[in-house]
Chains A and B, each alone.
Chain A
Amino acid sequence: MASDRSGQWRHAAEALVIPVAALAAAMIVFGIFMAALGQNPLEIYTLIYKGAFASAFSWQNTLSRAAPLILTALCVALPAQAGLMVIGGEGSVVLGGLAAAIVGHLLSGAAPAGVKVAMIFGGMLVGGLWIALAGALRQYRGVNETISSLLLTYVAVALFNHFVEGPLRDPSSLNKPSTANIGDANMLGNLPGLDIHWGLAFGVVFCLAMHVLVRYTTYGFALRIVGGNPRAARLAGLPVGALVLTACLLGGAAAGLAGAVEVAAVHGSANASLIAGYGYAGILVAFIARQNPIAIVPVAVLVGGLSASGGMLQRRLDLPDATVLVLQGIAFMLILGSEALYGRLKTFRAETA
């Protein structure tokens, strides 16, 4: 029993130390790179810290950027529990946002509280069904879900562009084609007392709920069996198809929610700003969090903080705003590569004697 407990601690420590060490290595590599270009790495890191986490303003910027990433990462992490590798979250974001904009516009005369709820559930439903389609193709036709979800993303973006620039275009949106505005009364607004929109709260609650669902319910247990060994799951009589489809539905709903929040709390209508790569960044967040719903939150905050600090580097050091993208890229590559170290470091190995 005691050795079990220590084994758990070892695993937890390993899962924390390896990515942090990889992140530190990435900072060293990036520091050498910047030093080679004649910049002072320490000054850059100070500014990144200031831009991301030093003040209430920077925290608000960071958390606002983290919110959509939390939700799109869930779109990868939930199907991953069932052994599926979905990379089409971007499609759900885009269509979820479009659905929210349509619902918001159609109901614009109704009571704002009802409109808000309808927009959110509309976005979640459309986003969920979109990923569930990829799951169903996988389950019933054997079509690889990674590729089909990527293809569906392009279809989603084309549909989005068609509607936003065609039938649903608001004639008054000249330079940037948009759908009709949902109206100020229907905007979700910010969390009480903060300058952060509701997406962050939705994301954190969604993550907590999914953690409970995956770890502590029969459903989650069955889902993880499917992910571990689909054949065994089928032989045990588990409803594999239903499990896979619900996991995809929930994941897609999270990404659809991200799109709906972008529309209902940030832009007020659906336009090209929605196609911002949240879906792809979410894939990396999910992988760095090792598909663990709880770990997604801090990872997304870190990634959001890095993007938030880009402006600071641009203003203070006159560096391109892509500077933080380079750091992000190096960090992603090293953390993904550090996956190879699990179970290899002596410190974290349980004594076998």
Chain B
Amino acid sequence: MVELGWWGVPIGVVGGAIRVSTPFLFVSLGECITERSGRINLGLEGILVMGAMSGYAASYASGNPWVGVLAAGGAGLLLGLLHGLACNLPRVNDIAVGIGLMLFGTGLAFFLGKPYVQPKAPTLPAIPLGAWSGSPQIQAALQVNPLFLIGLALALLLTWAFRNTRWGLVVRMVGDSSDAARAMGYAVPRVRTLSTALGGLLAGVGGSFLSLYYPGSWSEGLSSGQGLMAVALVIFARWNPIQCFYAALLFGGAGALGPALQSVGVTSGYYLFNAAPYVVTLGIMIATCSPRRTLAGAPGELSINR
């Protein structure tokens, strides 16, 4: 075996980033679509946990993990639709409904998921991209999950679609100026509801990664708040899908830095690295905001910009 020493740190971080970032990637892409349409969904945490539970349950029942991924997406779609429809009502606050959805989704998942804590469901396969290397650490770091690649493809597709398709332009217009969209004859609430539902679908799929790949089982402590972090991620990524991909890697890598440093003997202070992405996001917000100007690149209709 090749001794890696301090080289283990960057390799551990890269491996950790690839392993951990997939749920971040899916929730942030979902939140990106929702926020681009001018609405914010803080309930993705609940959707993520519900997706993890229903994905695991469906995989267990059907014996096929991909059925689980589909079920997770379906559950996410329904909860996203619920958020979208509730926020269409007058005077209903999207932030409060989001927090409510977070509690509802996690509660429902814990309730329905109780029978699935023990049984072992089939999980998603890994693609060994590191097979060329003799070092087991590099091999372990480059075990890539198909969902990670799907997420990357989705990020590229969404970046392209926001710029070049009619659908993308409509979502952006609704998010930047509902008056303009209404003048063009588009139904603003409907576009937002569909965008929120689509965002929920992606968050649900992100949840299925947690239960079907890494850590790869269902338990109540499965999510460590990835769904709520999506909001920070999207700001960090400036509402740009491909930058969501980089941001997800960075957030994942920051989380993996602690354990990687621990493996080479640095045991103190690594909790502070967990805070790094948030400090940087806050720094970006402080640097680009001013009392007269809102965040650059943010959709104009977003409630957090007014």
Contacts and interface: CB of A to CB of B under 8 A. Distances in A.
Interface stretch (B21-29, B103-111, B193-201, B203-211): B103-111
Interface string B79-103: 0001000100111110111011111
Interface stretch (B7-15, B125-133, B264-272): B264-272
Nearest to B229: A154
B171 interface: no
A340 B272 contact: no
A325 B285 contact: no
Interface residues of B, number: 53
Interface stretch (B68-76, B160-168, B276-284): B276-284
Interface stretch (A9-17, A155-163, A204-212): A155-163
A287 B107 contact: no
Given A143-B289, A148-B285, A151-B278, A325 B96 contact: no
Nearest to A286: B96
A333 B97 contact: yes
Interface in A122-158: 137, 139-144, 146-148, 150-152, 154-155, 158
A85 interface: yes
B285 A144 contact: yes
Given A325-B107, A326-B108, A336 B275 contact: no
A322 B110 contact: yes
B294 A142 contact: yes
Given A147-B232, A166-B268, A336-B93, A155 B107 contact: no
Interface in B244-288: 268-269, 271-272, 274-275, 278-279, 281-282, 285-286
B271 A340 contact: no
Nearest to B114: A320
Contacts of B100: 284, 329, 332-333, 336
Given A147-B232, A162-B272, A333-B82, A328 B107 contact: yes
Contacts of B101: 329, 333
B181 to A, nearest CB: 22
A326 B107 contact: yes
A75 interface: no
B147 interface: no
Given A154-B274, A283-B99, A325-B103, 5 more contacts: A87-B99, A140-B291, A142-B294, A329-B105, A333-B97
A8 to B, nearest CB: 20
Among A143, A151, A155, A287, max chain B CB count under 10 A is at A151
A186 to B, nearest CB: 27
A333 B107 CA distance: 13
Contacts of B96: 283-284, 287, 336
A123 B278 CA distance: 23
B290 interface: yes
21 contacts: A141-B291, A144-B285, A147-B285, A151-B279, A158-B272, A158-B275, A158-B278, A159-B275, A166-B269, A280-B99, A283-B99, A320-B110, A322-B114, A323-B111, A329-B100, A332-B100, A332-B103, A333-B100, A336-B93, A340-B92, A342-B91
Contact of B232 (A154, A332, A342): A154
B304 interface: yes
B289 A141 contact: yes
Interface in A43-79: none
B135 interface: no
A34 to B, nearest CB: 10
A322 B275 contact: no
B282 A337 contact: no
A333 B94 CA distance: 11
List of 10 A-B pairs having minimum Cβ-Cβ separation, nearest first = A329-B104, A325-B107, A322-B110, A158-B275, A340-B89, A332-B100, A162-B271, A320-B114, A287-B96, A161-B271
A320 B235 CA distance: 37
A71 B79 CA distance: 30
Contacts of A162: 269, 271-272
A144 B304 contact: yes
B107 A339 contact: no
B20 interface: no
Contacts of B274: 154, 158, 161
Q: Which of A85, A154, A166, A337 is most buried by chain B, counting CB atoms within 10 A of its CB?
A: A154
